[in-house]
């Protein structure tokens, strides 16, 4: 098949359903690979089949959804290579035809537990690797101090705003932890 557009793919799917003697009106659930040409809401396969049968509902493929967990989390913090590798391994195992449901569940639980357990260690490892890279490039490996912002306080405020007192080092650590937590949250939300 040379044309990979949603229109061509949906026509091919509908033709195959008809060749197999099935009625599209009886096909209520479909699972796509979450690719844009499959799962799009407007002109893609999901939308075009929904036009033919309004009861047709989209069910995302678990293996491809897991892959998107990693992609979405990696956009939050770029340096999550180790977690991305683990996610990639589990994703490939989930794509095997002979993977049983209980094995898949255990793989996902194990992956979530590993990410949760490594939460604190990943920060120190990334900081150490960044420091070594800076030293190799003759760059100062320490975070620069920034001027603390003064915020006007009103008479009814009971305490001062301490957010401006957070160091750059602490902000970097928080960003790494947020990336790790985002991966964990995406896994828990999607599975």
pTM of the model: 0.45
- 40: pLDDT strictly greater than 60: no
pLDDT of residue 139: 79
Asked whether the beta carbons of 181 and 83 are under 8 A apart, the reply is: no
Q: pLDDT tens across 53-112, in order?
A: 877 776 666 666 666 666 665 555 554 556 667 777 888 888 888 888 888 888 888 888
Asked whether the beta carbons of 164 and 88 are under 8 A apart, the reply is: no
pLDDT of residue 79: 46
pLDDT of residue 124: 80
Question: Any idea which of 31-35, 90-94, 180-184 has the lowest mean pLDDT?
Answer: 31-35
Q: How far is CA 191 from CA 84, 182, 184, 187, in A?
A: 17, 14, 11, 6
Q: pLDDT tens across 131-146, in order?
A: 887 788 787 877 777 7
Closest of 190, 172, 181, 175 to residue 83, by C-alpha: 181
Token pair of 78 as six digits: 């770029």
What's the rounded mean pLDDT across residues 34-40? 56
pLDDT of residue 134: 76
pLDDT of residue 39: 54
């Amino acid at each position: 098949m040379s044309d990979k557009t949603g229109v061509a793919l949906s026509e091919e799917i509908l033709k195959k359903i008809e060749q197999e003697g099935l009625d599209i009106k009886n096909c209520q659930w479909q699972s796509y690979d979450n690719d844009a040409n499959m799962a799009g809401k407007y002109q893609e396969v999901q939308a075009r089949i929904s036009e033919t049968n309004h009861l047709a509902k989209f069910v995302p493929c678990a293996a491809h959804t897991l892959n998107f967990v990693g992609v979405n989390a990696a956009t939050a913090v770029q340096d999550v290579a180790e977690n991305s590798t683990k996610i990639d391994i589990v994703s490939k195992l989930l794509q095997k035809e002979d993977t049983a449901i209980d094995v898949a569940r255990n793989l996902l639980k194990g992956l979530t537990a590993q990410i949760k357990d490594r939460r604190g260690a990943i920060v120190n490892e990334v900081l150490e690797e960044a420091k070594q890279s800076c030293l190799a490039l003759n760059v100062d490996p320490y975070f620069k101090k920034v001027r603390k912002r003064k915020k006007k306080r009103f008479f009814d405020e009971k305490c001062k705003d301490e957010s401006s007192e957070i160091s750059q080092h602490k902000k970097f650590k928080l960003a790494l932890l947020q990336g790790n937590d985002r991966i964990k949250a995406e896994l828990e939300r999607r599975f």
